[in-house]
Amino acid sequence: MNDSAKDPSQRPEHPDFWCKRFGAGQTPWDAGRVPADFAAFVATRNAPLTTLIPGCGSGWEAACLADAGWPVTALDFSPVAVARAREVLAGHAVELVCADFFTYRPATPPDLIYERAFLCALPRKLWPDWAAGLARLLPPGGLLAGYFFVCDQLKGPPFGITQAQLDELLADAFECIEDRPVSDSIPVFAGRERWQLWRRRQDGRPAER
C-alpha cells in the first residue's frame, strides 16, 4: 500500500496520527519536564529571544520561556496536542497556535527556533522542507537550538538522522556552533541524542520554498 492510501492515523505527516496518540495518552517522547541543556541555554542568554517552537506537543519548554520573560510561540498542527498544551500552559504568557509548520507565516520573524522531537517526528521525505522552512523563518544570525536524534534508526517515528544527513540539510544556511551529547535523555532517545546550536549564516542561500 502506498503511504497516501493509508489511514491518516497511521501517517505521521498527518495531524490524526498525533491526535490519536495524544488522545490515548501514548506519548513516550514527552519528557514531562524541561531538559537540562535547554534550561542552561535559557539561563545563560543575556537577553530574551523571540522563540518559535514547532511541533510543541505538551509545551513544557514554552512555559519555561514565558516564565523567563521570553516572547514565545508554541505551534502544533494536532488539535489534541494543542488542547494538552493549553492545559500545561495555563497561566503562562505563550502564543499557542494550531497550524502546520510548513505553511505557517509569523507576523514577525523569530530570533530562535527550538527543536525537540519535531524533526524525528517527520517522515524523511519532509526533511528538506523542514530545513528550508527554518532558513526561511530565521533571519541572518538567528538561532536553531535543541535536540537531535542522531542515529541510523530507519523505522519511526522517531526517525533517526545521521550527522552527515543533518549537515547536508543545514550546512548551506547554518553553521553549527555547539554540539554535545545529552545526559538527561528519556528512554526513547537515550544515548542517541545530541544538543546542538546552529546559527543562520549571513550569506546562506535564501530558501525558495
Binding site for ligand SAM (CB under 6 A): 18, 29-30, 54-58, 75-78, 81, 100-102, 116-118, 121
Contact (CB, 8 A) for 18 and 12: yes
CB of residue 78 to ligand SAM, shortest distance in Å: 3
Closer to ligand SAM by CB, 141 or 209: give it. Answer: 209
C-alpha cell at 129: 522542507
Closer to ligand SAM by CB, 57 or 160: give it. Answer: 57
Please give the sequence-ordered ranges of beta strands (E in DSSP) within 6-152, or none if there are none. Answer: 51-54, 72-76, 95-98, 112-115, 143-149
CB of residue 81 to ligand SAM, shortest distance in Å: 4
CB of residue 5 to ligand SAM, shortest distance in Å: 20
Separation CA 80–CA 82 (nearest Å): 5
CB of residue 91 to ligand SAM, shortest distance in Å: 20
Closer to ligand SAM by CB, 113 or 117: give it. Answer: 117
Separation CA 124–CA 81 (nearest Å): 22
Separation CA 68–CA 22 (nearest Å): 27
17: three-class secondary structure by DSSP = helix
CB of residue 46 to ligand SAM, shortest distance in Å: 26
Separation CA 154–CA 165 (nearest Å): 13
Closer to ligand SAM by CB, 121 or 170: give it. Answer: 121
Closer to ligand SAM by CB, 175 or 183: give it. Answer: 183
